[in-house]
Amino acid sequence: MLTGHRTWIFENKPVIVSTGTVGGPFEANGNIADDFDLLHSDLWMQQDSFEKAHKLLMEEACIKAIEKAGIQKDQVQFFLGGDLINQITPTSFTASTLGTPYFGLFGACSTSMEGLALGAFLINAKGANYILTGAASHNAAVEKQFRYPTEYGGQKPPTAQWTVTGGGAALLSNEGDGPRVTSATIGKVVDMGMSDPFNMGGAMAPAAVDTIEAHLKERGVDSSYYDLIVTGDLATIGRDIALDLFKKHNTPIDEQRFLDCGLIIYREGQPVQAGGSGAGCSAVVTYGHLLNRMKSGELNRILVVATGALLSPLTTQQNQSIPCIAHAVSIENGGA
Amino acid sequence: MSNNRKKNLTSIQQQYQTFAKDREKKRPVFKNCIKAFFVGGFICTIGQAITTFYMYFFDFTEQTAGNPTVATLIFITMLLTGFGVYDHFAQFAGAGTAVPVTGFGNAVISAAIEHRTEGFVLGVGGNMFKLAGSVILFGVFSAFVIALIKTILIQWGGL
């Protein structure tokens, strides 16, 4: 079960039975539009506030996942989820709609894998038959909270990242068909004293590197074991830094197989500066695009490392550094 | 300030910061300046055209045409902000759209739109000057200090 210091090996290999992914208009124009279950053409989504639209993203992703598995809402034992809004209210409202027992998580953009790791642990230990886990973010709602008003004309530097509008949820179970969760490494907070909220990739890269190296060491595998190692939202700058850090630490990583969700989701030429970010980013890319590629047999073993910048608008204004974290979960095809 | 902060960092943190700084994509400062120069100049040309318009067609002088010109520019900014165009334009123009009065207008208007969902009193009323408030405060205060200096110089300096 526990291997090394902070890695779990799941002997029962919990199955990702189904997933649900929802996106916004900007994602519909992106690179992986076909991998979404549902796309909205308008940021408001017929709601009267961005926060309500945010809740809708989470809700629809969860309901879609339950629907696709062909089960009823009340068969789900626990719901583990989170987002970036104050006191994670969109997720809590979703939990209220679902009516399932609920753990609220906050891991910023690493929430998706934090939820998947904990969910897999519970299923593996036979603590539940069905667990729903997910994360979401809404561009305007999150920008409003962390940065400036949506329509404010401030020029963003090339290191800034674009918050993804999207929600992704996965349903885990002990039986069924689908890719399986085989192991997870829990990250520790890495704080390199970086304090620029417009360069989160640079702040999060050391956390991602730390978790990946710990995972490979504790699981006793080489990076070539995985078809892909995918980070959450390091974007261009963070990814380059991470690759250089691996080089510096003499950890062999194949550049072609080291991808980033924040770079997969958008097309070249979309005005996102360095790339995508947000709690929904790794959730929609993993539960949509990557799992589809696994199901088609193109990929067999992937390691998803969701990275989170655990800052708040208050700590930024008080000039504090950005504490960062990364959680890694391995998803593999094949028998029980 | 930043030197002070650096002192509190461990050597590993400092090493990483230099490491990351080397790989950071810099703001294209020169290109931004050129763009800001032309867009800012363009906005000022429009402003001049509006001033001339008020002087030519209405009963305004060069001194009094300033107020209706500013009001007109802010009205145009309001429309552009409300239709969601201004922020895209500003990403291109940078200081070119931030420094003229249109930037101030945009700061007030965008905040008012943003907080509409929290009601008129606590939402719009309480947040409208969230960004622009400090401009007003320090603007008024600087004007006060300058006026004080001027008064002192005239009274006692014999200017």
Model pLDDT for residues A46-62, shown as the tens digit of each residue: 999 999 999 999 999 99
Task: Kindly give the interhelix angle for B11-23 and A200-219, rounded to the nearest 10 degrees.
Answer: 110
State how far residue B57 is from chain A, nearest Cα, in angstroms: 33
Residue A165 CA neighbour count, 13 Å, CB half = 29
Among A26, A155, A236, A239, the strongest candidate for a mutation testing the B interface, having the largest count of B CBs within 10 A, is A155
φ, ψ of residue A190 to 5 degrees: the values are -115, 125
Query: In which region does residue B27 sit, left (phi positive, over 0), alpha (psi from -120 to 50) or beta (all else)?
Result: beta
pLDDT of residue A263: 95
For A157, nearest residue in chain B (alpha carbons)? B27
What distance in Å separates the CA atoms of residue B12 and residue B16, rounded to the nearest whole number? 6
Question: Is residue A211 pLDDT above 80, yes or no?
Answer: yes
pLDDT of residue A149: 86
List Cβ neighbours of B157 (8 Å cut-off, separation of 6 or more). none
Question: Is residue A28 pLDDT above 80, yes or no?
Answer: yes
What distance in Å separates the CA atoms of residue B85 and residue B113, rounded to the nearest whole number? 14
Per-residue pLDDT of chain B (159 residues; tens, 9 = 90+): 344 555 678 888 999 999 998 888 888 999 999 999 999 999 999 999 999 999 999 989 989 999 999 999 999 999 999 999 999 999 999 999 988 899 999 999 999 999 999 999 999 999 999 989 999 999 999 999 999 999 999 988 776
User: For the CA atoms of chain B, what is the radius of gyration?
Assistant: 22
The ipTM, to two decimals, is 0.85
A275 at B interface, C-beta within 8 A: no
Model pLDDT for residues A95-134, shown as the tens digit of each residue: 999 999 999 999 999 999 999 999 999 999 999 999 999 9
Question: What are A91's two structure tokens?
Answer: 């997720």
Cβ separation B19–A236 shorter than 8 A: no
pLDDT of residue A134: 97
pLDDT of residue A335: 59
Which residues of chain A have a CB within 8 Å of the CB of B131?
148-149, 152
State how far residue B48 is from chain A, nearest Cα, in angstroms: 23
Cβ separation B86–A156 shorter than 8 A: no
For A48, nearest residue in chain B (alpha carbons)? B117
**Closest CB to A153 among B14, B24, B103:** B103
Dump the DSSP string for A270-289: SS-TT-EESHHHHHHIIIII
Dump the DSSP string for chain B: -HHHHHHTS-HHHHHHHHHHHHHSPPP-HHHHHHHHHHHHHHHHHHHHHHHHHHHHHSS--TTTTHHHHHHHHHHHHHHHHHTT-HHHHHHHHTHHHHSSHHHHHHHHHHHHHHGGGG-IIIIIIHHTTTTTHHHHHHHHHHHHHHHHHHHHHHHHS--
pLDDT of residue B1: 37
Are A242 and A205 in contact, with CB atoms under 8 Å apart?
Answer: yes
State how far residue B27 is from chain A, nearest Cα, in angstroms: 6
Cβ separation B17–A193 shorter than 8 A: yes
Question: What are B105's two structure tokens?
Answer: 């207008």
What distance in Å separates the CA atoms of residue A302 and residue B131, rounded to the nearest whole number? 44
φ, ψ of residue A132 to 5 degrees: the values are -105, 130
Strand partners, A134: A81, A169
- The H or E element spanning position A204 is helix A200-219
Which residues of chain B have a CB within 8 Å of the CB of A48?
117
Question: Is residue A42 pLDDT above 50, yes or no?
Answer: yes
Are A249 and A228 in contact, with CB atoms under 8 Å apart?
Answer: no
State how far residue B136 is from chain A, nearest Cα, in angstroms: 17
For the full predicted model, state whether its pTM sits above 0.95.
Answer: no
What distance in Å separates the CA atoms of residue A267 and residue A170, rounded to the nearest whole number? 25
pLDDT over 90, % of chain A? 92
Which residues of chain A have a CB within 8 Å of the CB of B14?
193
